[in-house]
Amino acid sequence: RKEVEQDPGPFNVPEGATVAFNCTYSNSASQSFFWYRQDCRKEPKLLMSVYSSGNEDGRFTAQLNRASQYISLLIRDSKLSDSATYLCVVNLRSNDYKLSFGAGTTVTVRA
Amino acid sequence: DTAVSQTPKYLVTQMGNDKSIKCEQNLGHDTMYWYKQDSKKFLKIMFSYNNKELIINETVPNRFSPKSPDKAHLNLHINSLELGDSAVYFCASSHRLAGAYEQYFGPGTRLTVT
């Protein structure tokens, strides 16, 4: 089983739609969770951290489900500019400096 | 103004050559990283330095040698380049422990080995 696993997509959605996708992680003791965004041929950039209680940043909502070991990202009212690859990132072991990256979920928003 | 910068942006070289990639950050972070992103888009950690000390050294061929002259710089030297080394190499930096803090990435160095 991969340490961090994502549905690669692509998710093709019309502007204004809601899109959501999950990411599973292997270690139940994982402490830190993030969603990064990577545009084509660019560097990854932090989109948002994921907190235990769930958190929202504008049109983006992140949730953590520890029991089932997954995090989710929901994008409401999709914009063309939301088209990107969304990387799930987990600090799998609290005494480890490493972040583990998923392979990414590709979202394409069409006009 | 660039927070994390890398040079060169593109590198095309032949098998067997030795090359270096340089990274600098002006964010005042004390931890820096090298990642490799291959054609399948997986981003894998290679090395990490905290205050010039090597703290992460993944299973990477010893042809790859990182060097951190100070907290703001982390270089990567690659000896005897192979076709499989072709990838995008990202430098990143963060404050203290990666587990809790955001990592900032450089624009990447696209290495092509022919």
Q: For A21-46, how does the pLDDT look when each residue is reduced to its tens digit (9 = 90+)?
A: 999 999 888 888 999 999 999 999 99
Q: Does A25 touch chain B (CB under 8 A)?
A: no
pLDDT per position as a tens digit, B30-69: 899 999 998 878 899 999 998 888 888 888 899 999 999 9
What is the DSSP code string of chain A?
Answer: --SEEE----EEEETT--EEEEEEES-TT--EEEEEEE-TTS-EEEEEEE-TT-EEETTEEEEEETTTTEEEEEE-S--GGG-EEEEEEEE--TT----EE---EEEEEE-
The verdict on a CB contact (< 8 Å) between A32 and B100 is yes
pLDDT at B91: 97
How many angstroms from the chain centroid is the CA of residue B63?
14
For chain A, how many residues are written?
A: 111
Question: What residue of B is the nearest CA neighbor of A31?
Answer: B99
The verdict on a CB contact (< 8 Å) between A32 and B45 is no
Q: Does A105 touch chain B (CB under 8 A)?
A: no
The verdict on a CB contact (< 8 Å) between B55 and A97 is yes
How many angstroms from the chain centroid is the CA of residue A84?
11
CA dihedral (A97, A102, A103, A104) in degrees, to 10, reads: -120
* pLDDT higher than threshold 90 for residue B95: no
Contacts of A46 (CB under 8 A, 6+ apart): A34, A35, A36, A37, B102, B103, B104
Q: Does A40 touch chain B (CB under 8 A)?
A: no
Interface probe, candidates B34, B41, B51, B111, chain A, greatest A C-beta count within 10 A: B41
pLDDT at B14: 97
